[in-house]
Amino acid sequence: MSFATDSGRRWAALAVIVTAQFMVILDVAVVNVALPSIKTDLNFSDESLQWVVSAYAIFFGGALLLGGRLADLLGRRRLFVAGLVLWLLLKPIVDWGARHARAKAEQRLRASVTEVAREYVVAPVREVLNAYAQAREALTTVRSE
């Protein structure tokens, strides 16, 4: 193996490590970006938000320890490939679940808007039609007498 090939492998390894570290930092940043939404949607206090961050950090650290131990037992490359394959297999399922949840939320929103529209649009029309039917019945009664 020549020095040029060895140097190229080192740069490729560095690129993979930097990308992995970027993903870790991005993952932590996503949690911090989501904190205001968590606070408003779930009515969390500032102390509760700190628990969210702490619980995420503990879980993430535990996952890293478990992943490191599995890498020691099974081999780093084998575990990396298994994780990549697992991610590729589960990604469509997770996306489908997100689309399904979004579709259900949209369906509920449409149902609530439809209910409101029914109350404010259909009810007055129904009243007009009922009045028309009563007037027609009264006219029929008067004609038959």
Full residue range of the structural domain in which residue 65 is found = 1-74
Q: Tell me whether residue 91 is in a domain.
A: no
- Tokens 């930092």 sit at which residue? 25
Q: Tell me whether residue 38 is in a domain.
A: yes
* 52 Cβ contact list (under 8 Å, min separation 6): 31, 35, 38, 44
9 and 67 share one domain: yes
Q: Tell me whether residue 120 is in a domain.
A: yes
Q: Is pLDDT above 60 for 1?
A: no
Looking at residue 2, what is its pLDDT? 55
pTM of this structure: 0.49
- Please give the tally of structural domains in the chain: 2
45 and 110 share one domain: no
Q: Tell me whether residue 82 is in a domain.
A: no
The Cα–Cα gap between 118 and 99 comes to 28
pLDDT digits (tens, 9 = 90+) for 79-103: 888 888 887 888 888 777 777 777 7
pLDDT digits (tens, 9 = 90+) for 14-47: 888 888 888 778 877 888 888 888 888 888 888 8
61 and 105 share one domain: no
Looking at residue 113, what is its pLDDT? 67
